[in-house]
Amino acid sequence: MGQKFTFAHIEHAPTDELRNYVSARAVKEMRFYEDLRRIADEPRVERIEQFENQNGGYEELTSGEHVDHHIMIAAVLNELKRRLAGAK
């Protein structure tokens, strides 16, 4: 699903990297839903195929090869929250 970030251990990643990850994910999610809105407003095979190429198609996503991307977001936010709470 596009740009990938990996952290061996989130707790060792620099705070700026965690913030950058959350920001990049937000931008990607907004694009994802904007693309869906365009498909709903004007459905075309080409548009759907482009969307599937960028985000994965039904068969690919249901094959079990993709992990729920929200897990990574939750992990990064949890680490940021922990750091921010410790900074008080």
- pLDDT tens digits, residue range 25-34? 999 999 999 9
pTM of the model: 0.67
Query: At 39, is the pLDDT very low, low, confident or very high (cuts 50, 70, 90)?
Result: very high
pLDDT tens-digit map of 54-81: 888 888 777 876 666 667 767 877 888 8
Residue 40: predicted pLDDT = 94
Other beta carbons within 10 angstroms of residue 80's beta carbon come to: 16
Residue type, 9: H
- Give me the residue label for tokens 């949890």: 78
